[in-house]
Structure formats: C-alpha cells, structure tokens
C-alpha cells in the first residue's frame, strides 16, 4: 500500500493553483471540472511527476472552516513538504512575499519552518539530516 493522493482544503482553487505552482514550484497534474466552480485539481513535484498527488480541494463542506481555523489557531500544519535546504527555501519563498509563522528551526537532526499558503492553511517545510 502507498499514498496516492493527499489533500489540503483551499478557499480558492485558482489562487491555490497559482501559489502551489508559481510560488512553491509544483506542477499541475489533473484539472477536471466537477460542475460549478469546483475542479478535481492536483499538483505533483516536478521531481516525481508520477509520485503522490496533492489535491487542492475546495473548502465548501461546513466542517472545513472550523477545522482549518482550529489548526491555524493552534499552529498545526495541514501538510509537510520535504526540501533539501530549509534555510534556502525559506529565503526563496520570502522573496515571493510568503508569510512565515515559524522561521527555520533546528531540532536535533530535523530543521523545519512553517508558512501560510494564502489558502487558509499552514504548511511546514522540513529537512532531516
């Protein structure tokens, strides 16, 4: 068994697609209209185009708002992305104007940083030595 798709709830799929592709560097994998404004919209790492997909899922369900608000209030990331160098990625993303809620922090063999994805989520970047 392996993870095929995981998701983050997003307030606006078009904005999320821009952020996750143009800012973070993922590439669009699937974009299927579901009726109305909703789409089955996934992105993948350019390094692993056949790897795990990230579904940019609309936040329309009534439970999503309170869930996302609680996670952000408590500082809990909705997802983690592995990077080769947290400090370099932190600096690159700050140049794009990305707001970090936690600057790079070393904790033993792990370095992390947390940012706001502009779509209502906190996302953690991580590197493990």
Q: What is the CATH number of the domain that holds 122?
A: 3.10.180.10
Predicted confidence (pLDDT) per residue in 8-37, tens digit: 999 999 999 999 999 999 999 999 999 888
Specify the pLDDT at position 37: 87
Q: What is the CA radius of gyration of the chain?
A: 15
User: Tokens representing 127?
Assistant: 């590197």
Predicted confidence (pLDDT) per residue in 42-60, tens digit: 999 999 999 999 999 999 9
Angle at CA of residue 101, ends 25 and 106, nearest 5°:
85
pTM (two decimals): 0.94
- The band of 74, judged by pLDDT with boundaries at 50, 70 and 90, is very high
DSSP 100-121: EEEEEEEETTEEEEEEE-SSS-
Q: Sheet containing 79-82: which strands, arranged edge to edge? A: 79-82, 122-128, 110-116, 100-107
SS3 86: helix
Q: Which neighbouring-strand residues pair with 95?
A: none
What's the chain's average pLDDT?
96
Q: How many domains does the chain have?
A: 1
Domain residues for the domain of 39 are: 5-128
Classify burial at 29, counting beta carbons within 10 Å of its beta carbon; exposed 0-12, middle 13-18, buried 19 or more: middle
Specify the pLDDT at position 36: 86
- Residues with Cβ within 8 Å of residue 12, at least 6 apart in sequence: 119
The residue with tokens 């919209």 is 41
Specify the pLDDT at position 45: 98
Alpha-carbon torsion 57, 42, 3, 114, what sign?
negative
């Amino acid at each position: 068994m392996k993870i095929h798709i995981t998701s983050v709830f997003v307030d606006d799929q078009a904005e999320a697609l821009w952020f996750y592709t143009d800012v973070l560097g993922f590439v669009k994998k699937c974009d299927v209209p579901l009726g109305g404004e909703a789409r089955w919209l996934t992105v993948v790492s350019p390094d692993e185009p056949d790897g795990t997909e990230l579904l940019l899922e609309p936040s329309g369900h009534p439970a999503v708002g309170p869930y996302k608000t609680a996670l952000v209030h408590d500082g809990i990331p909705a997802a983690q992305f592995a990077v080769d160098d947290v400090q370099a990625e932190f600096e690159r993303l700050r140049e794009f104007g990305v707001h970090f809620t936690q600057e790079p922090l070393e904790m033993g063999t792990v370095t992390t940083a947390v940012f706001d994805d502009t779509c209502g989520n906190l996302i953690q970047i991580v590197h493990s030595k």
